[in-house]
Amino acid sequence: MFISSALNAQIVFSVCDTDNDGFAIFDLETLIPELQGSNGDLQVTFHGTQSDAENGVLPLASPYSNDDPYNDSVWARIESIATGTFEVEEVLLEVRDSPIAIQPQEPLVQCDDTLADGFTVFDLTVIEPEVLGALDPMEYSIYYYELESDAIAAGNAALTAPNFSTAINNPGAFQNSINPQAIYILVVGNASATSQTNPNGTAGCYDIVELDILVVQPPGAPVAGFIDPMLVYDLNGDGLAEFDLTLNDPFVLGTQNPSDFAPITYHESLADAQAGTPFITAPEAYVSSGGTLWVRLESLATGCYRITSFDLIVVIDNEPPIALCENITVQLDNNGTATITGQDIDGGSTDNYGIQNYTASQTVFTCDDLGPNNVTLTVEDYFGNTDTCIAVVTVLEALELEAPSDLSIAGDIGQCFASNVDLGQPATLAACTWNLTNDAPLEFPIGQTIVTWTLENGSGQTTTSQQLVEVYMSEVDNAQVCYVTSDWNNPSQNRVFSKYSASLNGQNVDYHEVFRESSTGEFETVGYIVPPAESFLDATVNNNIQSYRYKIRTMDICGEQGPLSDYHKTILLQSSIAADNSINLAWNPYLGVSFSTYYIYRSVNGAAFELLGSIAATNTSYNDISANVLENFYEYFVSIDATTCANDPFQNPSVRSNQEYVNPNLVIKDNNWLSSAITIYPNPASEYLNVSVTEDLELREISVYNTLGQRLMVSTQDQINVSNLPSGVYYLSIETDQGRVNKSLLRK
């Protein structure tokens, strides 16, 4: 039988019972390392009986709850994986009670110390009798923590690996770090801890309760006016004087409610003040030769008190004060007058026992005194001793200026500025003479200009105020899309026409920017309409493949953009050959103008287009039953009248779809056959671009356009040298004997 080195002593597995009912949960897997020892070849299972363990049957699941209260056992089977030999060991399960500590009902309160900063020293241990309650203090250890997590961690480790190193080192002299502050008290059963109901006791088990500690502020400090030192003259030369200490009572209380405090007491020593007794019984007639006294103010609610010292001085003085002046600046009021006192120009004059009077040689100033003035200050102490100094009092005028209201005006027509602008009049207030100016330009540019108004008096004193003048462009003739049609000369390309206001007639317009919707749904610039031109040819599209949306935006003569117009969407006409060899036409509706009728035009075998028929605008399909695709080829387009434009359209009919080509020799289902029959490579290209067509097509002409619609080169060869083109996107228009195809090229 294989014997593990770990099996030299009886195994006792102890846990703490959280509800003290004698039953607990045991994580048996935590015993496996101990039972394996250092032998990784051992496999450990747990069983309810010795027989089950020996036979290796009915293993127990972990975690496991004891069947018998307080004490139970399971059997461990330790088996060698390599040899199959095993040993069984009994594991004693022991349930211990958890102590129940008492939650303190009230916070532990301490009066603040002399710093009055909300921090002081607490003796936390005074709460232990309340926390222990009926628990025997000889059987339990108590620890204090600032963090609940530290208390829980220490409690969880107390049964197996006690470690209380994170506890407060000196709970009898603990200074709080915040106010109020929560302290977590850990009560742990020691080795002798017992339980009335559990024979296993409570050793190593714990409870945690929370204690709030609170620093209470003492009464408020004396307010301004507190007499320190308190001076009384020695009138008979015996070195004694009678002091009325209660003169300080109002300043000791300040704005605090007297009913919240015990009577104010005065004491001859700090120790007496701290003890509250003895105290001076007749503070209103206290005879003294001078010294220090202490006044005590105690709160009836908290028992906290504040002690403040002050000095008594019996005054006999023959030394003059020392006068120190401070230069000041004063401002005349609306009546042209300013007044000062002697204390206004005092710069910290001193005396042995205090200064009684401050007298200035001049206290009233007018417009005649604008600028610096020398003023003599005379200081006098309580014994009639004096000294003087000179202060410079600079007198300023009370200048007030409010600029006129901000303006928002239209610029001159055809200009990027506004001239002859009436700014209005500012509001001024000055008691003396003054001059008003501003820095307004003769011509205000489009945008915002700050005009600074300046009010200056005769002494050079100034004040300013600002006015905002905003000049906006006079009304701009912002164009709309009139209509978008396939170009008469280049039917696979679109021509965009603009629409103007008849009353504004292109006022303040520099050019119109044309936008086309991209594959991502964004509208991107494709060209410009510069008056007097009224249209733009988009040579970078193939309207035989898809319909397009266009917008227009006007740029005024001052470089400001107008709003984007509503979009217009072109007509994409497509066809199919019906079973009876007639031709089905279908198209998407034109969007952007109101109309009532679609007109269908047809060309037979390259002849001129003729009106085939018309249908209501609510329909978007048509069947040409007169077509004979077995003998002829056809071209179609659909048109509408755009009668809402202010300017006459250049072409008739006004709006045309793409020209749909129907060839009886190309009876195929794929409408994109022509595009797929033409291939360009390599793409991207850096030097040469090859154009390949199928054998049934004849290549006639290749045109290269930039993104502005400008044609850069033309070739009839199937290889083009593109090395001289700058890097970017270009568009190819490839003409064959059976139609035109547009493709995109990326030049590296």
- Number of domain units in the chain: 7
Sorted by sequence, the CB contacts under 8 Å of residue 650 that are 6+ apart come out as: 497, 534, 535
Q: Assess whether 416 and 463 both reside in one domain.
A: yes
Give CA–CA dist 678/680, Å, rounded: 7
Average pLDDT over residues 528-554: 92
Q: What is the pLDDT of residues 300-349, one digit of tens each?
A: 988 999 999 999 999 877 789 999 999 999 999 888 899 999 999 999 99
Write down the pLDDT at residue 94.
95
Q: Assess whether 281 and 341 both reside in one domain.
A: no
In the three-class reduction of DSSP (H, G, I as helix; E, B as strand; rest coil), residue 734 is classed as strand
Question: How many helices and strands in the chain, by DSSP H and E?
Answer: 7, 54
Q: What is the pLDDT of residues 23-32, one digit of tens each?
A: 999 999 999 9
Write down the pLDDT at residue 183.
97
Q: Assess whether 702 and 654 both reside in one domain.
A: no
Question: pLDDT tier at 202 (50, 70, 90 boundaries)?
Answer: very high
* Cis? peptide before 63, omega within 30° of 0: yes
Contacts 24+ apart (CB under 8 A), 262-271: 262/297, 262/298, 262/299, 262/300, 264/295, 264/296, 264/297, 265/295, 265/296, 266/293, 266/294, 266/295, 266/296, 267/293, 267/294, 267/295, 267/296, 268/293, 268/294, 269/294, 270/294, 270/307, 270/309
Is the residue at 47 inside a domain?
yes
Q: Assess whether 266 and 306 both reside in one domain.
A: yes
Question: pLDDT tier at 628 (50, 70, 90 boundaries)?
Answer: confident
Confidence check: pLDDT of 744 > 80: no
CATH at residue 683: 2.60.40.3080
Q: Assess whether 177 and 46 both reside in one domain.
A: no
Write down the pLDDT at residue 5.
36
Q: Which of 192, 216, 240 is the last residue of a domain?
A: 216
Is the residue at 2 inside a domain?
no
Q: Assess whether 404 and 385 both reside in one domain.
A: no
Q: Which of 50, 77, 97 is the last residue of a domain?
A: 97
Confidence check: pLDDT of 146 > 90: yes
Q: Assess whether 209 and 357 both reside in one domain.
A: no
Determine the residue type at 284: E
Question: Between 729 and 294, where is the model more confident?
Answer: 294
Write down the pLDDT at residue 651.
42
Q: String of b and e for 334-346 (b: at least 16 CB within 10 Å)?
A: eebebebebebbb
CATH at residue 387: 2.60.40
User: Domain span at residue 356?
Assistant: 328-396
Q: Is the CB of residue 342 less than 8 Å from the CB of residue 377?
A: yes
Q: Is the CB of residue 215 less than 8 Å from the CB of residue 302?
A: no
Strands 108-111 and 206-216: what pairing?
A: parallel
Write down the pLDDT at residue 525.
95
Q: Assess whether 602 and 737 both reside in one domain.
A: no
Is the residue at 224 inside a domain?
no
Average pLDDT over residues 529-537: 89
Question: pLDDT tier at 581 (50, 70, 90 boundaries)?
Answer: confident
Q: Assess whether 362 and 343 both reside in one domain.
A: yes
Confidence check: pLDDT of 569 > 70: yes
Average pLDDT over residues 613-623: 95
Q: Assess whether 134 and 192 both reside in one domain.
A: yes
Q: Which of 423, 439, 472 is the last residue of a domain?
A: 472
Give CA–CA dist 450/470, Å, rounded: 9
Write down the pLDDT at residue 674.
78
Is the residue at 222 inside a domain?
no
Average pLDDT over residues 190-195: 91
Give CA–CA dist 710/537, Å, rounded: 9
In the three-class reduction of DSSP (H, G, I as helix; E, B as strand; rest coil), residue 415 is classed as coil
Average pLDDT over residues 546-561: 92
Average pLDDT over residues 559-568: 92
Is the residue at 668 inside a domain?
no
Confidence check: pLDDT of 541 > 90: yes
Q: Assess whether 388 and 409 both reside in one domain.
A: no
Determine the residue type at 271: A
Write down the pLDDT at residue 669.
35
Q: Assess whether 207 and 251 both reside in one domain.
A: no
Least confident of 303-312, 368-377, 378-387, 647-656: 647-656
Is the residue at 4 inside a domain?
no
Average pLDDT over residues 355-360: 94
Give CA–CA dist 734/746, Å, rounded: 16
Is the residue at 147 inside a domain?
yes
Q: String of b and e for 533-570 (b: at least 16 CB within 10 Å)?
A: ebbbbbbbbbbbbebbbbbbbbbbbbebebeebebbbb
Question: pLDDT tier at 707 (50, 70, 90 boundaries)?
Answer: low
CATH at residue 553: 2.60.40.10
Average pLDDT over residues 674-683: 86
